[in-house]
Amino acid sequence: MNIGQASKTTGVSERMIRHYERVGLMPPPDRRDNGYRDYSPQSIERLRFIANARGLGFSLEEITTLLGLWDNRERTSSEVKAVALAHADDLGRKAAALEAMRRALLELAEGCSGDSRPDCPILDGIAVS
Amino acid sequence: MNIGQASKTTGVSERMIRHYERVGLMPPPDRRDNGYRDYSPQSIERLRFIANARGLGFSLEEITTLLGLWDNRERTSSEVKAVALAHADDLGRKAAALEAMRRALLELAEGCSGDSRPDCPILDGIAVS
DNA sequence: CTTGACCCTGACATGATGTCAAGGTTGATG
DNA sequence: CATCAACCTTGACATCATGTCAGGGTCAAG
């Protein structure tokens, strides 16, 4: 399967497929006589794994770890779970941080008349806080 | 006030103070005879504004807009409020996306025994989903 | 005069991704 | 056969906010 087809069936851009290869997430695929990359069903499966992991917010570095575990029959599920829970924790902290910003901002905005006058507690709040 | 002192009193790194100047968020400060930057109280106030806005998650581009409004006595509070609410919306969407990832991940992790065996619904879930 | 604590500029790195340029390949159509 | 569109190749530059490092000037205290 050519890279264009691989991209279409996995939703991963050609750019990123090549990138994953460069950084070692994807093994170098077979090449046709003309030099074109040729992807096996296994490669497509791996690509999908990466795409799904990205969709869960894992970094490429974390995905390297996950793929290592995926490939390793000697893995323990506790290793996998530890990675997953650590990432879930990370997501939780980041979401909470964004929510805190949002609440602070809405609190400032609450006092703002939002009309044609220049007085604005939002600007005041940012200036002094 | 030298840049080191400005950095200490605002919590903004010297690197970023210079960066804000380069990208036009901060006006070029006065220079001493030796070429050292010399910050006025007004500059320090502006720096604090930027730092606080960053703390609320505004991008430097959004802060450019906010500073423009701050500087402009002809502004209307509705303009400011629109920027703030748009950003709050953005924050809300991003937080929700992270939370969704977290829930999906925790759901997968729930089925994982987390012991010494290799079977793991987390990896399975990432592989197929 | 030396030493340490400042300051200056410029450059490279991060992470994940887009985009563009310049070129080779292939298949179809005139 | 010539050509054109649709592929593929590699390499490079851009994004955004920030860190860090190199190589050099300045200044005050000992």
pLDDT by residue (tens digit) across B35-44?
999 999 999 9
Mean pLDDT for the stretch of residues B52-57: 97
- How far does the CA of A18 sit from the C1' of C21, in Å? 18
pLDDT at B83 exceeding the cut of 80: yes
What φ, ψ does residue A37 adopt, rounded to 5°? Answer: -65, 145
pLDDT at B86 exceeding the cut of 90: yes
Q: How far apart are CA A49 and CA B128, in angstroms?
A: 7
CA distances (Å), origin B5, targets A17, B9, B11, B63: 47, 6, 10, 23
Q: Which residue is nearest to nucleotide C25 (CA to C1')?
A: A34
Residues of A 35-54 whose CB lies less than 7 Å from any atom of strand D: 35-37
pLDDT at A96 exceeding the cut of 80: yes
**Distance of residue A35 Cα from the nearest chain B Cα, in angstroms:** 29
Q: Residue A46's pLDDT band (boundaries 50, 70, 90)?
A: very high
Q: Which residue is nearest to nucleotide C18 (CA to C1')?
A: A15
pLDDT at A129 exceeding the cut of 80: no
Residue B31's SS3 state is strand
ipTM passes above 0.85:
yes
Domains of chain A: 3-75 (1.10.1660.10)
Check residue B33 and give its pLDDT: 94
